[in-house]
Structure 1
Amino acid sequence: MELGLEGLSVVTDGRSLVRDLSLTVGTGQVVGLVGPNGSGKSTALRCVYRALRPSTGTVRVGGEDLSRLTARRSARLVAAMVQDGAVDVDFTVEEAVALGRAPHLRGNRALGRRERDLCARAMDRLGIRHLARRGVLTLSGGERQRVLLARALVQEPAILVLDEPTNHLDVHHQVELLSLLRDSGLTVLIVLHDLNLAAAACDRLGVLHDGRLVTAGTPEAVLTTDLVHEVFGVRAAVVSHPLTGDPQLLYSLAPSP
């Protein structure tokens, strides 16, 4: 299912956080939002999972205006894994993962066999099945991240949005998570700070700066030395990964001339 952001702007307390953002995520594509802190990436995502209403513009899912859908319908189409999505109640891991089925259940109906199987498969995919009876609050930050992604997956969305999902994860689990997203078949919009991971995981990148979309395109087209210097204020050489050919950045710690 295609995701479209059309002329999206967000103004809060007289300050423009996102300015006239238009971006399309094709069905089954993984598109990354990158940019410095405060560039509007997380704000744009909040409009997609309806935590924030845009001041102007439209979010479309499968061509439908997201704001016209019921909360239940939109929750069945779009799942989110966000920075502030921690579970504050000490549910067990299996209970926390099962919360992803809420948009599909009526009232307090118990999980059926299919729902239980979905939860078990999601925990297996994220390597957390052995933690099923553990309390979420006893887990490490990285383990909690995987619980949150499992919860999003059992929601069975068509579109998945993620805000810095590799936070707290070690290198192995970062690569594993991003590989899972690439192979999921879902339409994915993801915010990443690590440009090298973004280049490896994403079909396309959108670069934000001061709330505006600077450019969008393939990682090869977007990640140039000039753009990295202009937007991020750092010097870097761009090389091809020897195994995959993906563009990778080698940063210089020397001050700019």
Structure 2
Amino acid sequence: MTALTDVTDAEDLAVDAVSVELAGTRLVHEVHLKAAAGQVVGLVGPNGSGKSTLLRCVYRVLRPAGGAVRLDGDDLHALTARQAARRVAALTQEHSVGFDFTVAEVVAMGRLPHRRGMGGPTDEDRRRCTEALHRVRAGHLAERGFLSLSGGERQRVLIARALVQEPRLLVLDEPTNHLDIAHQLEVLALAREAGPTVLTALHDLNLAAGHCDLLYVLRAGRIVASGTPHEVLRPALLAEVFGVRATPVRHPDTGALQLLFDRLP
């Protein structure tokens, strides 16, 4: 993936005492979370901890049962769909394309919030879409049908679509799913280079440690720890929350925190 030439403005995110309910069951309980403009903030926790549910509330698929999600002080759920789409983009785990659009057409959908009236794509729209595809090393796929792609190729195309939306907040739900190791290492770096505030759910704690400024640990819908990766990813907490024995080590070149895992005795 290549470096970005256009950098998006970022905005502060505040999740204020947000609770989420589905079918009468409360899945997220009064979560407080902050991400300063331009930060990459990670949500980590075991399966079923509420990460995806909370993210769905942030990108407006679900409404909070209590509390509010604010971007630069504005209640996101009080914005029109168009207003929100100009400020928030999401890469979700559940994505489907009903018809076999070309890759170029799928990426161009990210420009829809910026078009006026019923007008078609402009030369600037096309330039941004082409550049985004090259950023994710998918330029050669532009004329391919989206449904013919592998899981990893689809993921890279959807990342490009999110980037051309020029969001102030980029929400990523397990963005490294289906990606090979090289692209796993690059995708969060690419999101940071693009400039928006990033809120991402991650299963891979080593990716979280290497790419996130702050981490929030969810368990049973509640925040149980928050802070920098060094503050949060401690053996005692990982044993309690994830049920694993973790040994922290330092990367020999960068000094970044890395974790070795084993089953608890």
TM range (shorter): over 0.9
In the alignment, does 2:32 pair up with 1:22?
yes
Cα deviation for residue 104 of structure 1 reads 1.4
User: What is the one-letter code of the residue matched to 1:201?
Assistant: H
Contact 2:226 2:232 in 1 (8 A): yes
Contact 1:86 1:148 in 2 (8 A): no
In the alignment, does 2:68 pair up with 1:45?
no
In structure 2, distance between residues paired with 1:138 and 1:14: 39
Contact 1:31 1:188 in 2 (8 A): yes
In structure 2, distance between residues paired with 1:51 and 1:89: 22
Cα deviation for residue 108 of structure 1 reads 3.1
SS in 1 for 2:86: helix
SS in 1 for 2:199: strand
Which residue does 2:105 correspond to in 1? 95
Cα deviation for residue 13 of structure 1 reads 2.6
Contact 1:18 1:43 in 2 (8 A): yes
Deviations 1:65-105 (A, max 9, x none): 11211110011000000001232321000000000011112
5 Å-filtered alignment, 1:1-257, equals 1-253=11-263, 256-257=264-265
Contact 1:88 1:137 in 2 (8 A): no
Runs ≥4 residues deviating over 3 A: none
Deviations 1:27-84 (A, max 9, x none): 0000000000010100111011100001001000111111211110011000000001
Cα deviation for residue 185 of structure 1 reads 1.6
SS in 2 for 1:87: coil
Identity of aligned residues (%): 58
In structure 1, distance between residues paired with 2:88 and 2:192: 17
User: What is the one-letter code of the residue matched to 1:168?
Assistant: H
In structure 2, distance between residues paired with 1:15 and 1:249: 35
In structure 2, distance between residues paired with 1:133 and 1:11: 42
Unaligned segments of structure 1, at least 5 residues: none
Contact 2:163 2:194 in 1 (8 A): no
Cα deviation for residue 250 of structure 1 reads 0.4
Cα deviation for residue 184 of structure 1 reads 2.0
In structure 1, distance between residues paired with 2:63 and 2:31: 14
TM-score by length of 2: 0.94
User: How much is the aligned-residue C-alpha RMSD, in angstroms?
Assistant: 1.0
Cα deviation for residue 160 of structure 1 reads 0.2
In structure 2, distance between residues paired with 1:106 and 1:216: 42
TM-score by length of 1: 0.97
